[in-house]
C-alpha cells in the first residue's frame, strides 16, 4: 500500500495548502478575488477532507500498526495526521455551518488562525512522512531549534492538557451564554 499512500497524500496536501492561502486572503481582503475564492471554499475543503481521510486510512494499511507505532517517528506521524485531519474537519464544519458570517468581526482572525495551524500541522505531518522514507527537510531542523527532536516522543505535559480542557469548557460555556443572550 506504500505507493498508494505516497500518491494519495499529495491530494490533501495540495488542497489544504490552497485552502490555507484562500482563508488567509479572505481574512485580509473583502475584494472581488477574495470573495470569489471564498465561494469555492466549502467544496475545496470537502474534497480535501475526503482525500485526507482516504490517505489516512491507506496510511494505516502501509505497515502493521505495531510496526509503525514502535518508533517515536511513526507515532508522531500518526499523531500529526490525526491533528491535521481534525483541524481541517473543524474548519470545514465552521465555514459550512456559519456561511459567510465567519468573515465578520473577530471570527475572520479565528478562521485565519485555524488555517495557519492546519497548514503548519500538515507541514509537520508531511515532514515526518518524508523522514519515514528517508527524505529529510530543514523543517525538522527548525522543529529541533524550537525544542522538539522529531525522533523522540512528543509529550504534552499534564498541565497543558488541563489548560486545554479548562479552555475548551470555558469556550463552550461562552458560546452557549452568548447564544442565549442573543435569543433574549
Task: Determine which residue in the list 23, 41, 56, 143 makes contact with ligand HEM, applying CB under 6 A.
Answer: 56
Binding map of ligand HEM across residues 23-52, x = CB under 6 A, - = no contact: -----------------------------x
Q: Assess contact for 78 and 69: CB atoms under 8 A.
A: yes
Q: What gap in Å lies between CA 114 and CA 79, rounded to an integer?
A: 18
Q: Rule CB under 6 A: which of 111-150 touch ligand HEM?
A: 125-126, 129-130, 132-133, 135
55 binds ligand HEM (CB under 6 A): yes
The residues, ordered by sequence, that sit 6+ positions from 89 with a Cβ below 8 Å of its Cβ are 49
| Interatomic CA distance for residues 182 and 98, integer angstroms | 15
Least distance to ligand HEM, CB of residue 175, Å: 28
- Give me the helices (H) in the chain, please: 2-28, 32-39, 41-62, 65-68, 72-98, 107-132, 139-145, 158-183
Contact range with ligand HEM by CB under 6 A, out of 36-44, 54-62, 94-102, 162-170: 54-62
In the stretch 63-102, what mask flags binding to ligand HEM with x, by CB under 6 A? Answer: x----x--------xx--x--xx-----------------
| Residue from the set 6, 25, 47, 116 that interacts with ligand HEM by CB under 6 A | 6
Shortest Cβ 82–ligand HEM spacing (Å):
7
Per-residue exposure over 134-150, b if at least 16 CB sit within 10 Å of its own CB, e if not: eeeeebbeebeeeeeeb
Using the rule CB under 6 A, is 59 a contact of ligand HEM? yes
Amino acid at each position: 500500500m506504500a505507493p498508494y499512500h505516497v500518491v494519495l497524500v499529495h491530494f490533501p496536501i495540495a488542497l489544504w495548502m490552497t485552502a490555507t492561502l484562500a482563508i488567509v486572503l479572505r481574512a485580509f481582503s473583502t475584494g472581488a478575488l477574495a470573495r470569489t475564492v471564498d465561494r469555492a471554499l466549502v467544496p475545496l475543503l470537502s474534497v480535501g477532507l475526503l482525500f485526507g481521510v482516504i490517505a489516512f486510512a491507506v496510511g494505516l494499511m502501509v505497515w502493521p500498526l505495531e510496526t509503525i507505532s514502535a518508533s517515536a517517528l511513526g507515532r508522531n506521524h500518526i499523531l500529526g495526521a490525526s491533528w491535521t485531519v481534525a483541524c481541517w474537519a473543524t474548519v470545514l464544519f465552521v465555514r459550512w455551518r456559519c456561511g459567510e458570517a465567519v468573515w465578520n468581526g473577530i471570527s475572520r482572525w479565528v478562521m485565519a488562525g485555524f488555517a495557519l495551524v492546519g497548514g503548519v500541522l500538515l507541514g509537520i505531518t508531511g515532514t515526518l512522512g518524508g523522514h519515514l522514507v528517508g527524505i529529510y527537510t530543514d523543517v525538522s531542523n527548525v522543529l529541533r531549534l524550537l525544542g522538539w527532536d522529531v525522533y523522540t516522543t512528543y509529550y504534552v505535559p499534564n498541565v497543558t492538557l488541563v489548560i486545554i480542557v479548562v479552555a475548551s469548557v470555558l469556550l463552550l460555556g461562552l458560546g452557549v451564554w452568548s447564544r442565549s443572550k442573543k435569543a433574549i
